[in-house]
Amino acid sequence: MDIKKLQTLVVDALEDVKGQDIALFDTTHLTSLFDRIAIVSGTSNRQTKALAASVRDKVKEAGGDVIGMEGEDTGEWVLVDLGDMIVHIMQAPIRAYYRLEEIWGDKPVKLGAAKRAPKKAAGDEPKKTSGHLAASKAQVEATPVIEKKAPAKKAAATTTAAKKAPVKKAAAPKAVGKTVKVAPTKAETAAVKALKALPEKKVRAPRAAKPAAGATDSAPAKTVIKRIKKVEE
């Protein structure tokens, strides 16, 4: 397997199990036994074992060779031998004590370069088509145009609706326990003044009934006879 593809698989497998402080170094100038060395930290025995298992499974699925694994019993320092690459999975105190970076860390490999995909072969590149042919041009899909209505129409609709709505008159307050004097209108006062200006009509006395035929005009007067007492001599 290509060393670049192998280091990419290892870094992906370590990141899947959330390995901490992943470091990758080029060792071709130091030894002929392997070309790369990877160092990663785990927070517990369970995580170090899970990191080693993730690397083993990923490499086997891709068709790589796993030569051996050491340190799975304790989980403090697990070593995975992949032939061209050695992976050291260590807990933080063990990693700080042995300091493998000082031994193998002359040429660090950036993780971005390790994950970089290999270049495509010359035959894999798509064929270029001439631009002057109409059939070779990609058809552009037509996107629907959504027309936005002007806000002025909405304002006009609201004003017409406001005009149509009936306006309710406020009811006059009812007087409770008090008499309210209402002043006469101008027409009423003018009519009263006109009535007062008219002259008063004289009332005629009723006429006496005419006497019957043969009756005297005047009633017979009553004669009053006064008796005069004689004065005794």
Token pair listed for 51: 């990191």
**118 φ, ψ to 5°?**
-65, 155
The pLDDT of residue 53 is 95
**145 φ, ψ to 5°?**
-100, 125
Find how far residue 151's CA is from the centre of its chain: 22
Whole-angstrom Cα distance, residue 179 to residue 11? 99
- Residue by residue, pLDDT tens for the chain (233 residues) are 889 999 999 999 999 999 999 999 999 999 999 999 999 999 999 999 999 999 999 999 999 999 999 998 999 999 999 999 999 999 999 999 999 999 998 899 987 755 544 444 444 554 444 444 444 445 555 555 565 555 555 555 555 555 555 555 555 555 455 555 666 677 777 777 777 776 655 545 555 555 555 544 545 555 555 555 555 54
Q: What residues have CB less than 8 Å from 105, skipping those under 6 apart?
A: 23, 25
Whole-model pTM: value is 0.49
What the chain holds in terms of domains, given with CATH numbers, is 3-114 (3.30.460.10)
